[in-house]
Homo-oligomer: A and B are copies of this chain.
Amino acid sequence: MIHDLEKKFKDIQSYIHKKFSDFEDSNDIDVSRDEWKRPEGGGGITQVIANGNFFDNCAINFSSIYGKDLPKAALARTLSKKAEYGYRAMGISVISHPKNPHIPTSHMNVRIFAILDQNNDIADWWVGGGYDLTPFLPYEEDIIQWHSSAKAALEPFGKNFYEDFSNNCNKYFEIPHRNERRGVGGIFFDNLTDFTSINESMKFLKSVAECYVDSYSNIINKRKETQYDEIQKEFQLFRRGRYAEFNLIYDRGTSFGLQSNGRIESILASLPSDVKWSYKKSPEYDLLQENLLNYINKDWNV
């Protein structure tokens, strides 16, 4: 069962890697693929595209971790079984940092968290994940499309899924010390135990991942030829600072990785390749920032 699930997640990883690689039109880029083992159990495959014509960097990670004691960040409280025989956490996590600031940064994650029985099989489980969009130079139609396609994809799985998950997303991707959201939202779900079988759960996660890829690819194809200037690029680098702040201080996935002694280079492959912080802001920065805040500090639920 574990092996079969791993295969399904790896297929999702390959699918996304193939789709995203197609946006690169140069061979002079850094492509990495590393399989790694975790000393305490499990491991993963880290795939990174970097220094491309299209991506500054993009990480597409698979990991499947086995452990005895639940890490603090695991949030297994909704499960009926205790983890006396250990747990298995498995999933895909994607973060993309395109070069062109007209294209948003995006994040997607699908995962299963399972309590094992004495045969090392799954006794109980939940699924979690979602995806969210972080624009720099925002386009209203892209944001609406992002949300509408999520709604359509979730409809067959649960009547309230989109409404609940988009609200979750707004709440989760908050940067309290900045009083800002990370972006324009999307969907986010955790501790989801609605599915009656692992197969149903996987079908759902696969559908989430595919919808993300389609939806993000649509935006890329619409914006990739749009020219940008130095001021817009620099604004993107400053805003990436917010992304680093969120991931390092608040993100539960990152905390889980650090607490469960995951492979640090894989966990932090989500960080942007280039980031700027500046105390003094230019008038051009202030204008771009003001515009962006009008987009990110509101609900886009459709």
Contacts and interface: CB of A to CB of B under 8 A. Distances in A.
A279 B265 contact: yes
Contacts of A274: 274-276
A30 interface: yes
A279 B241 contact: no
A277 B279 contact: no
Interface in A19-66: 30, 32, 46, 48, 50, 57, 59
A46 B279 CA distance: 10
A269 B279 contact: yes
A273 B280 contact: no
A245 interface: yes
Most chain B beta-carbon contacts within 10 A, residue among A50, A241, A275? A275
A284 B32 CA distance: 18
A50 B244 contact: no
A268 B249 CA distance: 13
Contacts of A277: 57, 268, 271-273, 275
Most chain B beta-carbon contacts within 10 A, residue among A57, A59, A277, A280? A277
Interface of A: 30, 32, 46, 48, 50, 57, 59, 177-178, 241, 244-245, 248-249, 258, 264-265, 268-269, 271-280
14 contacts: A30-B279, A32-B279, A50-B278, A57-B279, A177-B264, A178-B264, A241-B271, A244-B244, A244-B275, A248-B248, A248-B249, A265-B279, A272-B277, A273-B278
